[in-house]
Amino acid sequence: MFVNSYNVRTFAPNLKQGIFNPVRMRINTFKRVAFTILFLSVFSFGFANETKDGGDDEKFDPKEMILHHVKDAYGMQIATFNEGKDSEFHLTIPLPVITYTDKGLTVFSSSAFHHDYHGHEIVERNGQRFVNVHEKVYILDSGANQVTFDAEDHPTNAHRPKFDFSITRNVFMMWVSIAVLLLIFLSAARRYKKSENYVPSGIASFVEPLIVFVRDEIGKPMIGEHKYKRYMPYLLTIFFFIWINNIFGLIPILNGANLSGNIAFTFTLAAITFIITTLSGNKNYWKHIFWMPGVPVPMKIFLMPIEIIGMFVKPISLMIRLFANITAGHVIILALMSLIFVFKSYAIAPVSVAFSLFITVIEVIVTAIQAYIFTILSALYFGMATEEEH
Amino acid sequence: MTITGIAAIGAGLAAIGAGVGIGKIGGSAMEAMARQPEMHGKIQSSALILAAFVEAVALFGVVVAFLQG
Candidates A263, A178, A214; CA nearest to A375 is A214
State the nearest Cα–Cα gap between B31 and chain A, in angstroms.
Answer: 20
Sign of CA dihedral A27, A31, A33, A38: negative
The answer to whether residues A385 and A280 touch, using CB atoms and an 8 Å cutoff, is yes
Cross-chain CB nearest to A320 (options B41, B44, B59): B59
The whole-angstrom separation of Cα A254 and Cα B1 is 40
The whole-angstrom separation of Cα A202 and Cα A214 is 20
In whole angstroms, how far apart are CA A370 and each of A254, A330, A376, A387, B47? 21, 14, 10, 25, 14
The answer to whether residues A261 and A326 touch, using CB atoms and an 8 Å cutoff, is yes
The model's pLDDT over A175-226, given as tens digits with 9 standing for 90+, comes to: 999 999 999 999 999 888 888 887 888 888 889 999 999 999 899 999 988 8
Q: Is residue A289 part of a domain?
A: yes
Contact call for B49 and A217, based on CB within 8 A:
no
The answer to whether residues A186 and A178 touch, using CB atoms and an 8 Å cutoff, is no
Contact call for A317 and B48, based on CB within 8 A:
no
Contact call for B44 and A30, based on CB within 8 A:
yes
* Coil vs helix vs strand at A376: helix
The answer to whether residues A69 and A134 touch, using CB atoms and an 8 Å cutoff, is no
Q: Is residue A57 part of a domain?
A: no
> What are chain B's domains?
3-68 (1.20.20.10)
Contact call for A320 and B45, based on CB within 8 A:
no
The model's pLDDT over A312-327, given as tens digits with 9 standing for 90+, comes to: 999 999 998 999 888 8
Contact call for B48 and A372, based on CB within 8 A:
yes
Q: Is residue A245 part of a domain?
A: yes
Both A316 and A276 in a single domain?
yes
Cross-chain CB nearest to A324 (options B44, B45, B59): B59
CA-based Rg of chain A, rounded to a whole angstrom?
Answer: 25
pLDDT computed for residue A52 by the predictor:
43
Banded pLDDT at A286 (limits 50, 70, 90): very high
| Digitized pLDDT (tens) for each residue of chain B, 69 residues in all | 677 788 888 888 888 999 999 999 999 999 999 999 999 988 988 898 888 888 877 877 777 777 775
The partner residues of A76 in beta bridges, in order of sequence, read: A93
The whole-angstrom separation of Cα A257 and Cα A171 is 9
A313 inside 8 A of chain B by CB = no
Both A225 and A331 in a single domain?
yes
Give the range of the structural domain holding residue A346, as residue numbers without chain letter: 29-46+171-386
Contact call for B62 and A373, based on CB within 8 A:
no
Both A180 and A128 in a single domain?
no
* Mean pLDDT for the stretch of residues A332-355: 87
Amino acid B59 reads L
Counting the structural domains of chain A, the total is 2
Both A158 and A219 in a single domain?
no
Of A113, A144, A166, which marks where a domain is finished? A166
The model's pLDDT over A121-166, given as tens digits with 9 standing for 90+, comes to: 888 888 888 888 888 888 888 777 778 887 777 888 888 888 888 8
Candidates A219, A220, A247; CA nearest to A234 is A219
Contact call for A30 and B41, based on CB within 8 A:
yes
Three-class SS string for A234-250?
HHHHHHHHHHHHHHHHH
In whole angstroms, how far apart are CA A349 and each of A53, A61, A79? 14, 17, 20
Sign of CA dihedral A79, A82, A84, A88: negative
Q: Is residue A66 part of a domain?
A: no
Chain B CB contacts of A328 under 8 Å are 62
Q: Which of A320, A326, A330 would you mutate first to test chain B, the one with the most B CBs within 10 A?
A: A320
More confident: A258 or A241:
A241
